[in-house]
A and B are shown apart, each in its own frame.
Chain A
């Protein structure tokens, strides 16, 4: 066998192997979308199939009538957007100051902030629940917004922003100073525009964290019209406690698909942003 045909064969093996490995990564999502348009009895048909001859959108209609799903969707969107915007501001300000401004106690205060990276939210939720209860904020969106936007992913964001700003040349400040810019203007007009890659990484990381939050809404919220999407997804059970399979899948599809589409379009930013979450 010539070396050329051997490398072709090798490549075929590689692609086939990867294709098989990819099945559990791809099929659940594809199956979720496919099953959401199937009539209920077809979902558990054996052998499983992705195809239906009789597609229907009734599960989608049901998702909106069974729960205030549109409202829950809006809750998730507005909370995630708000949290992302606040995090971008707070983390870029703090990251800039820790990286570029010399002030007494900066190192000690940075260590204090880093403690926020050490403590998982699953540990603080018990006392936080009591604190928010005392503040009268149980069954409101405040805990979800405040804690996510100022602690949690925001601390990681501050860390990412600091690492980014610290690598920029010192001449930037000198040039800005000559133009008479103060610190706020330096941050806003010179450093933020340069930080677009880091900011988009932070935005993706924060948005997804907020969008996927499950423990917090489960603990803080009790009224269905205040629920966020992940929490709402688990509540599609009929009055006998049985899962409403296809309605649940339709709601899950509506939760997942928009994010997945944005991911495919902007995948490089996503991969970079989320790889940061594993870096700490």
Chain B
């Protein structure tokens, strides 16, 4: 349409502009459209190659490994079909591992969301020092996991800082890392304190997205602050809360360093969660096949949760707009 209205003399048609004596008659092969397509492929090539080489092929290999029995010392690899999957049912340790994984994830998600929400609500008010406190609560996020966990490992010793502090108020603390239950509590709490800052920031952003005229209207109707929180704030930020919960569970499923450094999965199996069990089977016991089967189990949990989160996000983002 636009081209019809233009006079031929002023049409800036790229394919007709002579770029040299050679191409005066035939249109050149490299039109700007073709150049664009080529640029597109070249620009994504490194990223695509990275994903194919370091994600897709490894997942394919993991599936292959899970169908084979592998002797790492002789290098002998035999196809065993679904034997490794059948072994899941016979593994006497697996129920305990799955239980520890569930307790860890549920504990982390409840504490993380609860504390993150509490901090966000408290810091959402305007007062001097709000930024200062936000910095304090966020700071563990930038501390190296291993350093953070090592320090907590000291503090949680029988004669460490936590029990010392409890002693000053007359409480004799347990030997935290030497008993199953308290070891689990310890890994959950150190994980939550380190990472709750991210959720706090996400919740703060969600709180600031709640239109203030809703609160004004509620105030005119005589609503107290508790009613406003449960009737206005919570419903409006609940999509963020649910999405953040899923992301937090996915993160908890992948917490390796905390557990490796603080408890090494112990005492006994009490803090051996799935991700740590995968590492043990594959790299300590050299059970490549069975380790891969467990890794695929972990992958299926993470994928289900992430896909669920993407689905919910798509629904809500459209809804909000």
Report whether B59 and A234 are in contact in the complex, using a CB–CB cutoff of 8 Å: no
Number of residues of chain B lying within 8 A (CB) of chain A: 94
Report whether B257 and A214 are in contact in the complex, using a CB–CB cutoff of 8 Å: yes
A44, A112, A120, A263: which has the most chain B beta carbons within 10 Å? Answer: A120
Number of residues of chain A lying within 8 A (CB) of chain B: 98
> Is B205's beta carbon under 8 Å from chain A?
yes
Report whether B40 and A215 are in contact in the complex, using a CB–CB cutoff of 8 Å: no
Residue of B154, B299, B302 touching A245 (CB-CB under 8 A): B154
> Is B288's beta carbon under 8 Å from chain A?
yes
Report whether A130 and B288 are in contact in the complex, using a CB–CB cutoff of 8 Å: yes
- Decide yes or no: A120 and B198 within 8 Å by CB, A24-B193, A46-B159, A183-B39 being known contacts: no
Task: Provide the B102-139 mask, 1 if CB < 8 A to any CB of A, else 0.
Answer: 00000000000000000100110101010001111111
- Decide yes or no: A21 and B119 within 8 Å by CB, A103-B40, A112-B56, A245-B154 being known contacts: yes
Report whether B47 and A275 are in contact in the complex, using a CB–CB cutoff of 8 Å: no
Report whether B36 and A122 are in contact in the complex, using a CB–CB cutoff of 8 Å: no
| Interface SS of A by simple majority | helix
Q: Scan residues 184-203 of chain B and give those whose CB is less than 8 A from a CB of chain A.
A: 189, 193, 197-199, 201-202
B153 to chain A, nearest CB (A): 8
- Decide yes or no: A15 and B129 within 8 Å by CB, A113-B48, A214-B145 being known contacts: yes
Residue of B198, B256, B296, B302 touching A275 (CB-CB under 8 A): B198
Residues of A within 8 A of B (CB): 11, 14-15, 17-18, 21-22, 24-29, 31-32, 35, 43-44, 46-48, 89-91, 93-94, 96-98, 101-104, 106, 109, 112-113, 115-131, 146-147, 149-152, 154-155, 158, 182-184, 187, 208, 211-212, 214-215, 218-219, 229-231, 233-234, 245, 248-249, 252, 255-256, 259-260, 263-264, 267, 270-271, 274-275, 277-280
Residues of B within 8 A of A (CB): 35-37, 39-41, 43-44, 46-59, 61-62, 65, 119, 122-123, 125, 127, 129, 133-148, 150-152, 154-155, 157, 159-161, 164-165, 167-168, 189, 193, 197-199, 201-202, 205, 244, 247, 250, 253-254, 256-257, 260-261, 275, 278-279, 282-283, 288, 291-292, 295-296, 298-299, 302-303, 306-307, 309
* 24 chain-A/chain-B pairs, Cβ below 8 angstroms: A18-B122, A22-B136, A24-B193, A25-B139, A29-B143, A31-B151, A35-B154, A46-B167, A89-B46, A94-B43, A94-B48, A103-B36, A122-B295, A127-B59, A127-B292, A130-B65, A151-B55, A182-B39, A214-B146, A214-B256, A218-B260, A275-B205, A279-B202, A280-B309
